[in-house]
Chain A
Amino acid sequence: MSLSPHVEVRNLAVTVRGPDGQPLRIIDDVSFDVARGEVLALIGESGSGKTTIALSLMGYGRGGAAISGLIRVGDATLDGAGGASLAAQRGRRITYVAQSAAAAFNPSRRVIDQVIEPALIHRTESAQAARARAIDLFRALGLPGPETIGSRYPHELSGGQLQRLMAAMALITQPDLVIFDEPTTALDVTTQVGVLQAFRRVVRQQGATGVYVSHDLAVVAQMADQILVLNRGRVREQNRVAALLEAPADDYTQLLIAAAHPVVKAQPIPAKPEPLLEIAGISAGYGPIDRAGRPAYPVLSDVSLTIGRGAAVGVIGESGSGKSTVARVVAGLLAPVAGTISLAGETLAPTVSGRTREQLRRVQIVFQNADVALNPAHSVGDILGRVLRFYHDMHGADAQRRVAELLDLIRLPATVAERRCDELSGGQKQRVNLARALAADPDIILCDEVTSALDTVVRGAILDLLADLRRDLGVAYLFISHDIATVKALCDEIVVLYKGTRVESGRRDGYDTPPFHPYTDLLIGSVPELRPGWLADESVQAAAPLAHLAESPDLCRFLPRCPVAMAGRCDVAPPPLREMSAGNMVLCHRTEAELVG
């Protein structure tokens, strides 16, 4: 076996029963090898079969899928293996790191017991030895307090930490093959960097062989040695990482690489448009409000921003930054505890019930997940028709004509009106979701992570659509995203939120070169670049923050994580708002000259 590759897959095919009862090949004729100690990436859009292939390596087919072809891992052949022999492989020789570690851990057991469980089940070593190995792995994965972290319960740990613990669980039996199934997709970009670094380090250290499933080329470029590009269950291209990125041979690979960089639309930034939506000093949160007027769980504190007519303003931040709450407050779904919102000079009531129908019509909200944002009981025509009837009193043939126009606007055929939402693809649903907002003829659309759940190629198409709609209809956007590249592709102005505070705001071009707020710096630096070796660069190694500086609502909120915090200044007074020479407003004690360096 010394000459043959470590993992060998030949003519792999996965067949399921199609909706009409006929067999349907979802994976067809896939062959690849993985050398010992290397990582192969499977990349493609959703539905490309990448997860199906990864699971079939464990001999697992979802929902009665039939696997055929040769699968050999180490000296074990998996095809036709079943029952006990398969169970002996899984979790010992072949292990799996799932996308959502938070959902994969049992909440009622301590993590260390779960991490060493594979070793105990397969009796590879004693509980004590497994524990010691687990602690070594925790250390290698850069988990805080490797000796003690195992005694905690899953709910006491962050998503990034759980993902690392899951990797430790996968590596505890020293497997022949580790399958990583989109392990960082659900994480914030700033958390993702750390997790990727930890994975890379531990994979190198342990000499583990891996299959890394992802839709993100830039992530894969950091993790893998080889890339296998998949589309509709077929291999489009396979090559070494550097070669594939530099000279993609297949046109589908070229499409993927192009989509990884959302292009900045040549849309000029309007000079000084008349203000349309003004948000002044908004504070909001959840839970009961105390005597000082603060909610039990404050989310936003003193956030202000102005959106001009036809302008696009982006709001970015990681999860928990309060960016979605901004949209909910503006839409009147959550009453702010302080501050005002005005639309074209008129002050809006804090909640929907106090606003006129005309005011409601002018501000529309579009949610991230079109699967739950569209009522599954109604047809597309019903959904759009209801908005037309509600705001424009449009009925019958008029409404039908308008629905067809709207569908044309979002580039879907008029026949879609008859269909129910669950018959549409993810991208189509998101278009319908947008069309519902457009049906109201709004002045401004609040887009809450509308592209986050979509594949890169589909995301590019939706961004194009948004830019065209803005140009043609003059609609303004409040565009909320966690992805700075997406925001820069669409918006004129960008606001950076951190824990409900606006830490930086300014025009798009101000975000091209420093100085930035240290948090903006972290956000921009955390976005993986499409070149191998980016992760190894010194620049992305997050500087050790002054962890002893406690967080306080009156001080800079970023203080506990800030790599350039100054004891004696940052921990005694709230930071001032400074204007940078590029026009950016930055909330920081550091001066412009200090921030550049």
Chain B
Amino acid sequence: MRKEETVKLISAEGFEFVIHKDAAMVSQTIRNMLTSPGSFAETEHGEVTFPEISTTILEKICKYFYWNLQYASGKQTEFHIEPELVLELMMAANYLHT
């Protein structure tokens, strides 16, 4: 995995998550941010800040991305979600189109 193949997702509290581009592209919103034509900061540095998504939720989302890739490749496991995270997670999922 080379540096150019990764994206950095930054949460409301400033915590950074470095994940593979393929994983991030599970989200339609992030895909659009990273692939839109023209020189946007997001496309060039591979960094996206989410001021409205908290660290716990963003980490869960990153886990989901990787789970989704595994699921798509045939390895079907359960994805556990803590009940207290459900509401915030659904709002984030709506925003991210996942």
- Whether chain B is bound by chain A comes out as no
Interface residues of B (CB under 8 A from A): none
Interface residues of A (CB under 8 A from B): none
